[in-house]
Amino acid sequence: MSGTPPTAVVIGAGVIGLSAARALLATGYRVEVIEQGPVPNAHGSSVDSGRLIRHTYGTQHGYAALVDAAYAAWERLWADLGETHYTQTGTLMLSRPGASWAQDSAATLDRLGKRYRVLDRGEAARRFPLLNLEGVERAYWVETGGVLAAEPIIDALARHLRVHGGAVTPHTAVTDIDAERGHVRLEDGSHRAADLILVAAGPWAGRLWPELDDVLTPSRQLVCYADIPDDLYTAWRRMPMVLDIGEADSRTQGSVYAVPPVGDAPLKLGDHAFSLTGDPDVDRSPSAAELQRLFEMTRRQLAEPARYRLLSGRTCFYTVAPDSQFLHRCQGRAHVLAGFSGHGFKFGPLIGERFAELASGRLDETTFQTWLAARQ
Spacing of C-alpha 182 from chain mean position: 29
Same domain, 294 and 283: yes
At 251 the pLDDT is 41
Question: Taking residues 134-146, what's their average pLDDT?
Answer: 97
Evaluate whether residue 62 is within a structural domain: no
- 148-184 pLDDT tens trace: 999 999 999 999 999 999 999 999 999 999 999 999 9
CA 80 → CA 20, 24, 163, distances in Å?
14, 14, 11
Torsion of CA 8, 10, 16, 21, to 10 degrees: 40
pTM reported for the whole predicted model: 0.95
At 254 the pLDDT is 59
Evaluate whether residue 138 is within a structural domain: yes
Average predicted confidence (pLDDT) for the chain: 94
Evaluate whether residue 86 is within a structural domain: no
At 82 the pLDDT is 98
Q: Give yes or no for residue 84 having a pLDDT over 50.
A: yes
- Residue 245: give its domain's CATH number: 3.30.9.10
β-bridge pairing 241-244 and 256-259: antiparallel
- 239-270 pLDDT tens trace: 999 999 975 444 444 589 999 999 999 999 99
Same domain, 224 and 365: no
At 354 the pLDDT is 98
Q: Last residue of some domain: 279, 294, 317?
A: 317
Torsion of CA 316, 322, 327, 333, to 10 degrees: -100
Q: Give yes or no for residue 117 having a pLDDT over 80.
A: yes
Which residues make Cβ contacts (< 8 Å) with residue 189, sequence separation at least 6? none
Same domain, 223 and 357: no
The C-alpha atoms of residue 346 and residue 63 are separated, in whole angstroms, by 10
Evaluate whether residue 237 is within a structural domain: yes
Beta bridge partners of 51: 148
At 376 the pLDDT is 57
Same domain, 109 and 188: no
Percent of the chain scored above 70 by pLDDT? 97
Domain that residue 268 falls in: 91-143+218-317
Same domain, 126 and 264: yes
Same domain, 224 and 107: yes
Evaluate whether residue 61 is within a structural domain: no
Domains contained in the chain, number: 2
- Strand order, beta sheet including 117-120: 117-120, 138-142, 91-95, 241-244, 256-259, 267-271, 217-227, 309-320
Same domain, 131 and 227: yes
Give the least confident one: 136-145, 281-290, 298-307, 362-371: 281-290
- 13-49 pLDDT tens trace: 999 999 999 999 999 999 999 999 999 988 888 888 8
The C-alpha atoms of residue 180 and residue 160 are separated, in whole angstroms, by 30
- Residue 155: give its domain's CATH number: 3.50.50.60
Q: Give yes or no for residue 292 having a pLDDT over 50.
A: yes
Same domain, 228 and 111: yes
Under the banding of pLDDT at 50, 70 and 90, the label for residue 2 is low
Evaluate whether residue 330 is within a structural domain: yes
